[in-house]
């Protein structure tokens, strides 16, 4: 299939997502717990933009012609890598789906994508829309399953030519190991971090509080770049804490389908951390806090 035809299909795919935005937003909220207004006004437009971007890119994949020594000419040719295995997380199910599927389809690859076991609904709906858009049978394949089974099978499969994974560092290591032990397929990893926010003594405290609040409460705190550590200069520490607490108390928690609700339920009690019970995780956290020097420089904001 030509790049022009792939682009046409992706443009149609984007239009179908727009046409079904209410169903998709409702499924995303039902699946993930994020406020409906966030799914409708933020996630859906992003997905459409990503599809349209790669639709425009599909017919612009070119190699180079190179002048070599003597009478020789050289050239490079960009070809589809083949079958791409993709594994997405539960915090932005639909957004991550299109972030991975769109470039692969634009380049002419076939895709086997595994949705997170906690949030499978929008991926299945989007697979149906892909069929309506004209994606040929067998090109886009959606699996609903657990990482230990479906994810492991994708990572180690000899007929999958590349892996793209977004998730935890722990699982990323397992995927890289499985890829290396099978057919040495290339791996792209986007892994979680522990992002700090530093507030100096000359900062606008009100503005810093609002930024810190958004950084850790956005998407119920379930985001890889959440500002989950806040270092505050001791001269403004007390003021910052007082205002941060007041701002946190304004957060509206409730049914994500109700207007005005800013925070719905967490996807899981302890997210992707499987090695600890809830009590063990809290105990571990407080042990870490107790080891800190007794200085006023650290604020922990937790959305749970």
Terminus-to-terminus CA distance in the chain, angstroms?
48
Biggest distance spanned by C-alpha atoms of the chain: 75
Q: CA separation (Å) from 124 to 21, 97, 132, 133, 199?
A: 15, 10, 13, 14, 43
Quick check: is 79 catalytic?
no
Catalytic residue among 148, 224, 239, 302: 224
3-state SS class at 285: helix
Is the CA virtual torsion 18, 99, 116, 227 positive or negative?
A: negative
190: annotated active-site residue: yes
Lookup: tokens for 154? 């994708």
Separation between Cα atoms, residue 299 and residue 100, nearest integer Å: 35
User: Residue 235 corresponds to which tokens in the numbers above?
Assistant: 């001269």
51-77 burial code (b ≥16 CB/10 A, e <16): bbebbebbeeeeeeeeeeeeeeeeeee
Active-site entry in 107, 190, 239, 290? 190
DSSP 33-62: ---HHHIIIIIHHHHHHHHHHHHHHTT---
Active site residues: 190, 224
């Amino acid at each position: 299939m030509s790049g022009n035809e792939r682009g046409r299909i992706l443009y149609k795919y984007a239009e179908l997502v727009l046409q079904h935005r209410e169903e998709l937003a409702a499924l995303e909220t039902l699946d993930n717990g994020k406020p409906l207004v966030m799914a409708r006004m933020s996630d859906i437009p992003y997905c459409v933009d990503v599809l349209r971007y790669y639709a425009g890119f599909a017919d612009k994949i070119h190699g180079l012609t190179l002048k070599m020594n003597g009478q020789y000419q050289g050239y490079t040719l960009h070809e589809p890598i083949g079958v791409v295995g993709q594994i997405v997380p539960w915090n932005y199910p639909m957004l991550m789906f299109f972030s991975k599927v769109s470039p692969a389809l634009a380049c002419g690859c076939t895709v086997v994508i595994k949705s997170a076991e906690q949030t499978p609904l929008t991926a299945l709906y989007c697979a149906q829309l892909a069929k309506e858009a004209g994606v040929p049978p067998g090109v886009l394949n959606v699996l609903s399953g657990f990482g230990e089974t479906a994810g492991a099978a994708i990572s180690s499969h000899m007929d999958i030519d590349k892996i793209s994974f977004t998730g935890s560092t722990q699982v990323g290591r397992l995927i890289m190991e499985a890829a290396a032990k099978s057919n040495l397929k290339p791996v792209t990893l986007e892994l979680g971090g522990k992002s700090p926010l530093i507030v100096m003594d000359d900062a606008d405290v009100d503005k810093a509080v609002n930024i810190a609040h958004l950084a850790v409460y956005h998407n119920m705190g379930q985001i890889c770049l959440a500002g989950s550590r806040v270092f505050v200069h001791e001269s403004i520490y007390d003021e910052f804490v007082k205002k941060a607490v007041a701002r946190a108390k304004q957060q509206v928690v409730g049914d994500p389908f109700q207007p005005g609700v800013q925070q719905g339920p967490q996807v899981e009690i302890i997210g992707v951390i499987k090695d600890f019970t809830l009590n063990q995780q809290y105990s571990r956290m407080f042990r870490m806090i107790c080891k800190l020097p007794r200085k006023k420089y650290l604020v922990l904001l937790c959305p749970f």
